[in-house]
Each structure stands twice: as C-alpha cells, then as structure tokens.
Structure 1
Amino acid sequence: MDYSGKRHFILNGSMPKVILTLATPIMFNNFIQTLYNLADTFWVSKLGSNEVAAMGLVFPFIFLIISIGMGMNVAGTALISQHVGNDDNSSAKMVAGQIFTFSLILSTALGAIGYFATPYLVGIVKGEPEVLSLSSQYLSIMFLDMPIVFLFFVYNSIKQGQGDTYTPMVLNVCGVLLNIVLDPIFIFTFGLGIKGAAFATIISRGIFAIYAIYTLFSNKQPIHLNRKNLKLKKDLLFKILKVGMPASIGQSAAAFGFIILNAFVISYGTATLAAFTIGNRINSLVLMPAMGIGSSIATIIGQNLGAGKNDRAKLAFKTSVYLSTLFMVAGSIVLLMASRSVVGIFVKDDPEVLNQGIRYLRLICIGLPLMGIFQILIGTFQGSGHTGYGMALEMGRLWGLRIPMIILFRYLTGWGSDSVWYAMLLSNFFICIVGYLIYLKGTWQEKVILEKAVS
C-alpha cells in the first residue's frame, strides 16, 4: 500500500482492520524485542543471579535517558500524523528535520554525560558490592548506545506518522535477531561477561540504525529530509518541544520512579530483585498486543484529528480498548496456567527466586487488562498531541499512587515483598479510572497543528 493509500485507509477503512493492520507489525516487533530481552536475560542468567540483578538494577537509568528520546518520538508521531491527515507534507518534512537535528545533538550530549557519571548514578541505589560493580560495567557501555537509540526513534516517528509501521518493524527485527546471535559470542566466546551483552546490543542496533538514517534522506520517500529541513527553526522547535516535553517528563519521572521502586525491591534481597526482573521480562511478552495497539492508535488518532474526523478518533479509542482487553484476558489465562514452567526456564538452582518470581507473575496477571487500557489511554493522548494528559497519568501512577502505597504497605502490613506487587496492581486500577475521566472531558480532540503549512 503506497503513501496515499495508507492515508485513505486510516481515514476511511474498517476501524478494527485499521487498528490491527497498523498494530500487527508493532506487536511482532515487540514480540521479537521481548524475545531478545528474554534471550539476553537467559544468557546473562548463566553467569549468575548477581548478573541478572545488575541488569535489572540499572535498567531504569537507561530508560531515564531513553525516555527523553521517546518524548521526541511522541512529538514527531503526533505532529507528522496530524499534518499528514491535514494533507500537508511540507510541514511534516519540516517537523521531521527539526526532530532529527535536535535528537542528534541531545543524545550525543546525554550519552557522554551518562558515560562519565555512571559510578555516581549506580551509587544512588544500595545493593551488594558485586552487584553494583557489575551494574556499573553494563551501564557505562549502554550509554554509548544513546545516539543510535535516539536517531532510530526519529526514523520510527517519521514512518509511524505516515502510517508505516511495517518498515521500522523489519529493521528492528533484523537488529534484534543479530543481537540474539551476538549475545553468547560476546558474553562467553569473547569472555566479556555482562559487558558482552551491552556490546552485542550496540553493534546490532547500530548497523541497522545507520541504514534507517540513510533512507530518511532518499527522495524516493514521500516524507524525506534535506539540508533545509535540518536547520533548526526556533518557533517550530519550540512547538515540537511543547508537545514532546510532557511525554519526556512523564517517561523520565516514571523511569526515576522505577529507580526508587528498585531500591525498595532490592531492600527485600537480591533474590527479590532477580524475580522482579525475570517477571517483568515475561510479563512484557504478554503485554505486547496492548502495547502494539497503544502505539498504533497514536497514528490513527493523529491523522483523523488532523482531517477533522473527531467521531472516528473516538471510535478508534473504543475499538482499541475492546481489542486490547480481549488480548489481555486471554494472555492472563495462559500465563496463570503456565507461570511455574515459564519462570523455571530462567531459574534452575535458586528456589527462592523461583518462588518469588511465580508469586509476582501470578499477581500481575490479574491486572493485565488494566495495563492494556492504560496503554490505550496513553496512545490516545499522545496521538492527539495533548501529551500533558499522558504525563499526568504516568507520573500519577508511580509517584501519586504506587510508591506511596509501597511505603504504607511496607510499614503497616506484614506482606513483605508482596506489598510491592499489590501496590502495582492497585495503582494500575486507580489510574485507569482517572484516565477515563480525562478522556470523557473531550479536550484531547483539539488539534495541535496550524491549518497552514509551516514555512
């Protein structure tokens, strides 16, 4: 389907078909990405529980930096999709160029700062000396990956804004498959241990990110970059940041919140953190359909609002909630039945990690439909460009609900490490209620683009 065909399909096609057509490549990409995460965890687990805990401990730091790039990705998808819906390719190209230049500068600076600040960052959290040492080794290398990650976000936002979720999926899948191959080579054959996992990630992502960037400058693409687009324009960049910053702040606040969350988790012991890390990796596999639908709805909402089809945008939300709930209920049933077998794949000789991992996974399964609805709400608000609502939900879920609940449960109950799992379940329930009330207000339907092209 060509560019004009995709636009017509998104604006006029059967809504369930539109959602699933756009979401399926994202789902498959998430599936492959999750397989990579599981494979990464599998190979690292061969080194020991300390290495698994070390990866889990520093992931929020990585996500904290990546979240800034994700904000630019959200802004790009929202603005480009609305310009495409408004049949304004000139403005879409200018937005794409601004995001590319700004992301390149920002990611290089953040990667360099993070690399040299790694010992101080790891020192924020408490843990066993060996775990902290391994965390520092892994994190310092992963900071070198930031420019690659940010620029691939740019590519993804440009393509997704046009309704092309297939091409980014192909490149991501190729990178992930290469990563899975390189992991055991760098970890064991080269004897690099946990550092080998980080090097394998950078190399596999970098190869395909370079190709993706190259295609952005090809004039065969309907929305492509040139030198004129790359020159920063103050007014347009400010508008992009106005849309992107709330998403970045929300993601960053959530990432920092997970650092605090990890501090609470590790206070119950390394086994609890290892179980938490393994459980989250498995849980993300089941959550991928909802994440795919949540990502695809941003494009659908953006293009339909840009074209003035507000009723169709609301239809997209309702249909997405329905589809997501079906997927999540089915996934929960399967995971509940197979929880012991699945966790057992990653834990062989540590009964404590095995038992805590099973317990965590079973509790989280109960709330999977809520997590799916949360993804749809975030995708709706991000696609409309009203990213402040998404920021409020992300920050409120963690800082307003989950962390305070963990503190209360820790000191007022005898639930032990289970108090963390209960807090996660309840925070998802309450934030979905808040998100739906915001949706009912209807202010998210207002356009964030100008009717005339940006010059």
Structure 2
Amino acid sequence: MTKEMTEGSPLRLIFNFSLPLILGSLLQQTYSLIDAAIVGKYLGINDLAAVGASTSVVFLIIGFCTGCCCGFGIPVAQAFGARSYSDLRRYVANSLWVSLIISVVLAVVTSLLCERILFMMQTPHDILHHAYLYLLVTFIGIPFTFLYNLLSSLIRALGDSKTPFYFLLMAAILNIVLDLFCILILHWGVAGAAIATVFSQAVSALLCLYYMFRKFDILKMEKGETALDKHYIKGLLDMGVPMGLQFSITAIGSIMLQSANNALGTSCVAAFTAGMRIKMFFMCPLESMGIAMATYCGQNYGAGKTERINMGLRASFFMVCLYCIFCFIVLHLFARHIIYLFVDFHEYEIIEKANQFIVTSCTYFIPLGLLCLLRYSIQGLGYSKLAMMSGVFEMVDRTAVSLFLVPILGYTGVCYGDPSAWFAADLFLIPAYLYVHKRLSRKRCYAQAS
C-alpha cells in the first residue's frame, strides 16, 4: 500500500514512516551483534578480530551499494509525489537492470582483490586467513545485498516502510539460526557466519521482489516500460552514483583509520570490532531518520510543496536530539555490560578499550544526527553531488587523524576519528543545505509569480 507524505503533520508523518525503518535497522544490527557475539564467545578473540579487521572495507563496498540503492529510490519518490506513474514504472524497471550489472561487476572485482586489500590494511598475520574467508564470502554475496537494498528503497519510495521490516525480521531470525548451525554444528568458523548472513539476505531480497510486483498495482508494467532507456538510466545514475560514492569516499577515511588501528595489534582490533558493532547498533536510528527525510523531501519536492521541507527537518532534529540524549545516558552507564556479550570477563584490556571507543562516540551523537538529516535531505531534493562532498570532508578528516593523531595518541586517537569527521561534515552540510533551500525558495517564488 502506497502512502503520500505531502499532507499532514511532518512530525507525525516522519515518525510513523521512520519507525519501521528504525526497527528494521536495529534488527539488522542485532543479528550483526549476534554474529560477532557468537564468533567472540565460541571461536575466540582472534576470530572476532578477523571479522572486524575488514569492517571498513565491507562498508566501502556495501556502503556504495546501499548509497546507490537509496539514490535509485529518489526519482521514484519524486515521480510518485508528482503522480507520474508511467515514469515511476520506467525508473523501477531500469533500476533493476542497472543494479544487476553493477552488483555482478562489484562481486567479481572485489572477490579477486580481497586478499590484496587485507595486506594493504596491515591486517595482523595471525588473523589474516580467517579475515580473508569472511571478506570473500561477503563479496560473493554482493548481488543479494544490492537487490535487497534496492527493493527496500523502492518500496519505501512508495510510502511503505513496514513491509521491508517484516522481511528483515524473518531474515534476522533465519540468520541467527544459520549462524549457530554453521558455527556450532558444521564448524565452518567465521566463513559460516558470513554464509549465514548472505543466505538470509538472499531470502529477504527474493521475498521483497515477489511482494513488490504482486501488491503494488501502480507497478504493473505496460508495453515498453520494462525496456532499458538512456534517459531513465541517466536519471538513476545521477542520483545513485553520487550517493554510493559518498558512502565509499567516507569509507576510504574509515579504511585509513582502521589500518592505523590494525597496526596497533590484535587486542586493539578486537576492541574496535566490539565497540564498532555496539556503536553501529545505537547510531542506526539516526541513519534511518535520515532515510525517512530523503523520502519525505523527495515526495514534497515532486509535489511542489517545498515549504514543508524545513518543517520536516525541524521535527526530525527534535526527535534526533531526544534519542541522542537517551543513547548518552544508556551507554555511559551500561556500555561495559554490553561488551561482555562479545568477550570474556578476564579480557580486561579489550573491555576497557571497547568501552572507551563507545563512550567517546556516543558523546557526539547529536552532530552525527544532524549530519544524517542534512545529507539525506539534500539528496532527497536532488542535489546528490553536493551531498557527496560531505563524504570528502569526512574522508579528509579521518585520514588526517590516522596519519597524525593516532601515531601520537595511539588508540585514543582512533576513538576520536569518527566524532571529528562528523563535525567536519557538518561544517560543510549546514551551509550546503541553506544554499539548496534558498534555491528552492526562489524557484517557488518564480512559479507563484508566473
């Protein structure tokens, strides 16, 4: 069932739309946490470090896929807001073709290069083999990851954020069961954890595909609408590629930071892995709120109701601030207890380092929340290339931290890598959003005058 976000209270609309997104993201991060917990508890610290040694590389590739998929959903949201349903169907069809090509090429290239990547990242020798297996399986599964993210983005563009959550719930349960089966019964180690995740995503993607074309009447293709079309491909790539590159550019800085952390030894890698999984769990609602704003802005822009965009941004920032305060309190009080899920009580050094990473990060969640809202809002309004530049600021900042701060402060420098990058991105995004909003206001004035 489709839903328009061009009428009614922005706060209520965005909250109701983002809630399934938040629950879905939390669910996705939950089985990521469980992955790491099972590996850390049953396979040991070295295997936990092996899973985490390539986290930023996975984010580089999977982030590009996720960004492209979010971008492909924006022309669909704009066409839906404008009620141009033939254009909407052509965008959907062409996005499927483009995604198939991109995902297969990515899977082949990254699978061939993953061993070299781990060497370049100074991965400790004692975890190199298992890190390679985990990374290889993850890369082979890229087409399924791409397909799920694309279909979820398209369904959300039509105003339905609940259905992807239901499929994700099923995938999460399946993933946990397969994790235990592959690791404890089949003894496949870290490769088994990756296989469980890829298989679960494949099931979720196929269910989304079946549901989307079965339930949405406006997606019933008419003659000629499924064909490849240069005009629609260009529109998709203009939105999707900058968003994908934004994630990848951001991840380059993360790779530099993780490489600097890898050089500090296996205990730092294990602490970083546990800390990063917990941080990602708590920050994913901020990302989900941003995705909701992309759809909200896209639909209102398509409907010509740009005056509602600032209202939506203010409502979203209010909700983000409340959530960030909640995270600050919970993580300052209970971070150590959560870390015990991953490592044994006697691993004092790892527990202390992971706690330091988490507490430092959550202290600066409000700048991160503002980053998510502004970046996705700018993208939803069609300025993907401008939003991409914020990723450049993040990359430069993380690279500077890894080259200059980590050698001086060690692991403490690693802990401040992300917060400093969030501030750097905000310094660009705030004036960028004001520029975009000013341009849209002028367009509205011209339209009203004519």
Contact 2:24 2:169 in 1 (8 A): yes
Q: Deviations over 1:205-256 (max 9, x none)?
A: 2122112222333375323457843321112211211121211111111223
- Residue 316 of structure 1 deviates from its aligned partner by 0.8
Distance 1:114 1:406, change over 3 A: closer
> Runs of 4+ in structure 1 displaced over 4 angstroms?
224-227, 443-447
- Residue 163 of structure 1 deviates from its aligned partner by 1.1
Q: Deviations over 1:173-222 (max 9, x none)?
A: 11111101110110110010111101111221212211222233337532
Q: Deviations over 1:289-308 (max 9, x none)?
A: 22221111111010001111
Match of 2:383 in 1: 386
Match of 2:39 in 1: 44
Contact 1:216 1:224 in 2 (8 A): no
1:435 counterpart letter in structure 2: L
What are the equivalent positions in structure 2 for 1:7-26 lying under 5 Å apart? 7=4, 10-26=5-21
Match of 1:416 in 2: 410
- Residue 443 of structure 1 deviates from its aligned partner by 5.0
Q: Is structure 2 residue 102 aligned with structure 1 residue 106?
A: yes
Match of 1:248 in 2: 244
1:120 counterpart letter in structure 2: R
Q: Deviations over 1:414-455 (max 9, x none)?
A: x221012223222322322321121111358659xxxxxxxx
Contact 1:77 1:298 in 2 (8 A): no
2:388 counterpart letter in structure 1: M
Match of 2:362 in 1: 365
- Residue 48 of structure 1 deviates from its aligned partner by 1.3
- The separation in 1 between residues aligned to 2:64 and 2:418, in whole angstroms, is 24
Distance 1:29 1:55, change over 3 A: same
Contact 2:104 2:142 in 1 (8 A): yes
Match of 1:441 in 2: 435
- Residue 80 of structure 1 deviates from its aligned partner by 0.9
- The separation in 2 between residues aligned to 1:350 and 1:429, in whole angstroms, is 33
Secondary structure at 2:416's aligned position in 1? helix
- Residue 42 of structure 1 deviates from its aligned partner by 0.3
What are the equivalent positions in structure 2 for 1:292-371 lying under 5 Å apart? 292-348=288-344, 349-371=346-368
Match of 2:124 in 1: 128
Distance 1:242 1:111, change over 3 A: same
- The separation in 2 between residues aligned to 1:426 and 1:113, in whole angstroms, is 32
Contact 2:290 2:376 in 1 (8 A): yes
2:295 counterpart letter in structure 1: T
Match of 2:26 among 23, 27, 31: 31
1:269 counterpart letter in structure 2: G
- The separation in 2 between residues aligned to 1:248 and 1:356, in whole angstroms, is 32
TM superposition score normalised by structure 1 = 0.92
- The separation in 2 between residues aligned to 1:221 and 1:114, in whole angstroms, is 38
- The separation in 2 between residues aligned to 1:219 and 1:30, in whole angstroms, is 23
Contact 1:82 1:303 in 2 (8 A): yes
What are the equivalent positions in structure 2 for 1:9-408 lying under 5 Å apart? 10-46=5-41, 47-218=43-214, 220-225=216-221, 228-348=224-344, 349-399=346-396, 401-408=397-404
Q: How many residues align?
A: 439
Q: Deviations over 1:249-295 (max 9, x none)?
A: 11111223222211011111111121111111111222232222111
1:263 counterpart letter in structure 2: S
Q: Deviations over 1:133-175 (max 9, x none)?
A: 1111111111221111111122112111111111111111111
Q: Deviations over 1:36-78 (max 9, x none)?
A: 0110000010211111111112222222222332233122221
Contact 2:256 2:398 in 1 (8 A): no
TM superposition score normalised by structure 2 = 0.93
Secondary structure at 2:60's aligned position in 1? helix
Q: Deviations over 1:378-416 (max 9, x none)?
A: 2111211211122111221122x22213322235x4x22
- Structure 1, 342-351 or 168-177: larger mean CA deviation: 342-351
Distance 1:190 1:364, change over 3 A: same
Question: RMSD of the TM alignment (CA)?
Answer: 1.9
1:59 counterpart letter in structure 2: T
- The separation in 2 between residues aligned to 1:365 and 1:175, in whole angstroms, is 28
Match of 2:447 in 1: none
1:19 counterpart letter in structure 2: I
**Percent identity of the aligned residues?**
26
Contact 1:82 1:305 in 2 (8 A): yes
1:370 counterpart letter in structure 2: P
Distance 1:357 1:444, change over 3 A: farther
